[in-house]
Amino acid sequence: MEKSQLDSKRNWVARAFTGVEDIVYIGLGLLLAASSIILLATGMIDFAQNLLSGSFPQKIVALLDRILLVLLFVELLYTVQVSFREHTIVAEPFLLVGLIAGIRRVLVLTAEFAEIADKESEVFRHFIYEMAALTLLIVTLVFSLYLLRERGGKTGAERA
C-alpha cells in the first residue's frame, strides 16, 4: 500500500474518531447542563423553604455545599466546552474542579466536626488525617494554578 493511501486512511479514521468524540462531548455537556439546572432549581427551592420556615441558619452549610456542587458541575461543563470547541485539553479547568471539590469536602467535614469530636479517638484521628490531606491538596492545587497563570499563554495539550 502506498504511503499516500495509508495517510488517507489514517486521516479518515482520525476524523471518524473526532466525530465520535464530539458526539460524546455533546452528550456529556447536555447531561452536565441539565444536572446543573436541576441542582440550581432544587437549591433555590430549598433556600426559599428554609428561609420561610426559619431553619435557614441550621441549613446554611448544606446550601453552601449545594452551591459548590453546582459550581463544580459548571466548571466541568466549561471543561467539556473547551475540549469540544478547541480540541485541546486545558489543565486549568481540571485544577479548578479539583480545588472546588476539595473545598467542598473541607466544608462538609468542618460541619460534621461537632459530631466527630464526641466519638472515639480513632474516628477523630481519621478526621484529622483527612483534613491534613485535603489541606495539602488544596495548597498544591492553588500553587499549580498560580504557576499556570504566571506562565501565561495556552496551557493545553493539542489534539488532532
d(CA 41, CA 35): 10
8-32: average pLDDT = 91
Tens digits of residue pLDDT in 88-98: 788 888 898 89
Tell me what the mean pLDDT of segment 53-71 comes to.
86
Whether 139 has a pLDDT exceeding 90, the answer reads: yes
Residues 6+ apart with CB under 8 A from 106: 131, 134, 135, 138
